[in-house]
């Protein structure tokens, strides 16, 4: 569908009616010119209940049924290893796709997805809603405008708490086969995406993973160093084993000596620019409310993310309507996946992993040219 043939009201299908689907349902409800017309879940009760709750005409049990209703966009809200099948089916039907992160759990799968969307001439966007924090947008704009110099050092620290039931109550979580990884794949990937957005193409990764407190196959803790094509360096520290969550911090130092720190605390809320050290002085803007909750439950965390999902959904709808690339492309999402998979490989082999050009070169390979 070229931008000249975009209908007035884009018809949207949601695939997967679990925890994060609420964010997509509410985000599309707030997006001008788009309307959710069908929801799909392999659990028919879930699909029906979601349709009833949100007043949606159709509830179906398969992606083929959803596509047969005639939609312009789908949101993919299913477990990570299932993303590929859904995306390939939608691309084959000429439907634009907004997919939850991670794009996939292996690079071959991610590449098949971006290639299929490119070949079909449909947009592929991947949810990294933290890019829409005003503080992240400002940091990026200042780097692009060269107001801070070149980024030389990045740090991301992700200190989260997950109750054991987070893994035990959802059967697909916590195993290599059905979750693809642990804290890196599911939580830290958001902040790895921010690091890459700020620092550029990653070229080498070393790391170590461990499982300390959770009864899961995959890692609950990880450390890594990343080297970027520019020569910039970054560290990643991440865990879901913290007794009391401290949220996540992304910090960038640039060649002028300026350092900006964005803190997301509590998890899910707006990342705030809490510290700026520039021109020989330091300013802090914590500005926290009094009623902080350290270990919020998942529904609260996901609920707090709705404004950021709303911003990214609006961006994606505009991209479809205007025929331009969305803010976060499938290729962007492949780069963050490449970094975390390299941490797994480095941890296994004890050696640094070089990222090959096809994993990391910037550019919107799935961008539609028609
Ligand atoms: N962007 C974010 O901040 C964020 C937050 C939470 C989850 N997510 C991502 O969203 C995805 C889903 O996570 P969740 O927590 O909502 O999981 P969930 O288990 O709560 O929900 C998944 C739903 O998908 C359904 N499903 C599974 N396979 C399906 C298929 N082939 N077709 C249709 N329905 C299918 C399941 O029945 C279930 O209802 C994951 O990839 C996760 O990483 C992103």
Residue 351 in this model has a pLDDT that exceeds 50: yes
Whether 15 is in the pocket of ligand 1, judged by its Cβ within 6 Å, is yes
Phi, psi of 259 (to 5 degrees): -130, 130
Residue 368 in this model has a pLDDT that exceeds 80: no
What would the pLDDT profile of 8-40 be if each residue is shown by its tens digit?
799 999 999 999 999 999 999 999 999 999 999
Nearest CA to ligand 1 atom 4: 20
Rounded to the nearest integer, the mean pLDDT of the chain is 93
Mean pLDDT of 139-144: 97
In percent, the amount of the chain with pLDDT more than 70 equals: 93
Q: Name the residue among 250, 200, 198 with its Cα closest to residue 229.
A: 200
Class of domain 132-301: alpha beta
Whether 179 is in the pocket of ligand 1, judged by its Cβ within 6 Å, is no
Nearest CA to ligand 1 atom 27: 78
Predicted local distance difference test score (pLDDT) of residue 364:
43
- Give the confidence band of 369 by pLDDT, cuts at 50, 70, 90: very low
Mean pLDDT of 152-172: 95
- Give the confidence band of 287 by pLDDT, cuts at 50, 70, 90: low
Whether 118 is in the pocket of ligand 1, judged by its Cβ within 6 Å, is no
Ligand 1 centroid – CA 16 distance (Å): 6
CATH code of the domain made up of 3-129+313-334+355-360:
3.40.50.720
Residue 78 alpha carbon, nearest atom of ligand 1:
24
Whether 267 is in the pocket of ligand 1, judged by its Cβ within 6 Å, is no
- Give the confidence band of 293 by pLDDT, cuts at 50, 70, 90: confident
The residue written with tokens 């461990």 in the block is 210
Residue 134 in this model has a pLDDT that exceeds 90: yes
Ligand 1 centroid – CA 77 distance (Å): 4
Residue 86 alpha carbon, nearest atom of ligand 1:
31
Residue 292 in this model has a pLDDT that exceeds 80: no
- Give the confidence band of 68 by pLDDT, cuts at 50, 70, 90: very high
Residue 359 in this model has a pLDDT that exceeds 80: no
Mean pLDDT of 291-304: 89
- Helix, strand, coil percent content, the chain, rounded in steps of 5: 40, 25, 35
Whether 87 is in the pocket of ligand 1, judged by its Cβ within 6 Å, is no
Residue 170 alpha carbon, nearest atom of ligand 1:
19
Neighbours of 71 (CB within 10 A): 21
DSSP string for 309-320: HHHHHHHHHHHH
Neighbours of 91 (CB within 10 A): 25
- Return the SS3 of 21: helix
Residue 83 alpha carbon, nearest atom of ligand 1:
41
Residue 172 alpha carbon, nearest atom of ligand 1:
19
Residue 85 alpha carbon, nearest atom of ligand 1:
31
H or E stretch at 347:
helix 330-349
Phi, psi of 177 (to 5 degrees): -65, -45
Delimit the domains of the chain by residue range: 3-129+313-334+355-360, 132-301
What would the pLDDT profile of 255-272 be if each residue is shown by its tens digit?
999 999 999 998 998 888
Q: Which of 101-115, 177-191, 281-295, 339-353 has the lowest mean pLDDT?
A: 281-295
Predicted local distance difference test score (pLDDT) of residue 358:
66
What would the pLDDT profile of 221-242 be if each residue is shown by its tens digit?
999 999 999 999 999 999 999 9
In percent, the amount of the chain with pLDDT more than 90 equals: 87
- The whole-angstrom separation of Cα 78 and Cα 24 is 12
Whether 81 is in the pocket of ligand 1, judged by its Cβ within 6 Å, is no
Ligand 1 centroid – CA 101 distance (Å): 10
Residue 148 in this model has a pLDDT that exceeds 80: yes
Predicted local distance difference test score (pLDDT) of residue 6:
60
């Amino acid at each position: 569908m070229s931008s000249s043939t975009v209908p007035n009201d884009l018809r949207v299908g949601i695939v997967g009616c679990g925890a994060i689907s609420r964010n997509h349902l509410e985000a599309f409800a707030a997006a001008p010119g788009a309307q959710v017309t069908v929801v799909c879940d392999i659990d028919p009760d879930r699909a029906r209940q979601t349709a009833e709750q949100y007043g949606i005409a159709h509830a179906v049990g398969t992606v083929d049924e959803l596509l047969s209703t005639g939609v312009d966009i789908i949101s993919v809200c299913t477990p990570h290893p299932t993303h590929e099948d859904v995306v390939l089916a939608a691309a084959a039907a000429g439907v634009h796709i907004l997919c939850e992160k991670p794009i996939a759990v292996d690079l071959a799968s991610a590449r098949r997805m971006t290639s299929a969307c490119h070949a079909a001439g449909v947009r592929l966007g991947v949810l990294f809603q933290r890019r829409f924090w005003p503080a992240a947008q400002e940091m990026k704009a200042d780097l692009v405008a060269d107001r801070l110099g070149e980024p030389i050092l990045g740090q991301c620290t992700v200190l989260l708490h997950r109750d054991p039931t987070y893994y035990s109550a959802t059967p697909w979580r916590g195993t290599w086969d059905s979750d693809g990884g642990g804290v890196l794949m599911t939580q830290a990937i958001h902040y790895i995406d921010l690091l890459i957005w700020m620092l550029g193409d990653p070229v080498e990764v070393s790391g170590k993973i461990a499982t300390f407190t959770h009864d899961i196959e995959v890692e609950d803790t990880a450390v890594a160093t990343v080297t970027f094509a520019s020569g910039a360096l970054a560290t990643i520290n991440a865990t879901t084993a913290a007794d009391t969550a401290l949220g996540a911090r992304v910090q960038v130092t640039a060649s002028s000596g300026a350092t900006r720190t964005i803190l997301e605390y509590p998890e899910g809320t707006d990342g705030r620019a809490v510290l700026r050290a520039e021109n020989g002085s330091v300013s802090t803007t914590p500005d926290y409310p009094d009623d902080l909750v350290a270990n919020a439950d998942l529904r609260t965390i996901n609920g707090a993310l709705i404004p950021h999902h709303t911003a990214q959904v609006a961006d994606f709808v505009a991209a479809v309507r205007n025929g331009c690339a969305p803010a976060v492309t499938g290729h962007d999402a492949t780069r963050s996946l490449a970094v975390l998979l390299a941490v797994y490989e480095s941890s296994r082999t004890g050696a640094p992993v070089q990222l090959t050009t096809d994993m990391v070169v910037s550019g919107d390979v799935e961008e539609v040219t028609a």
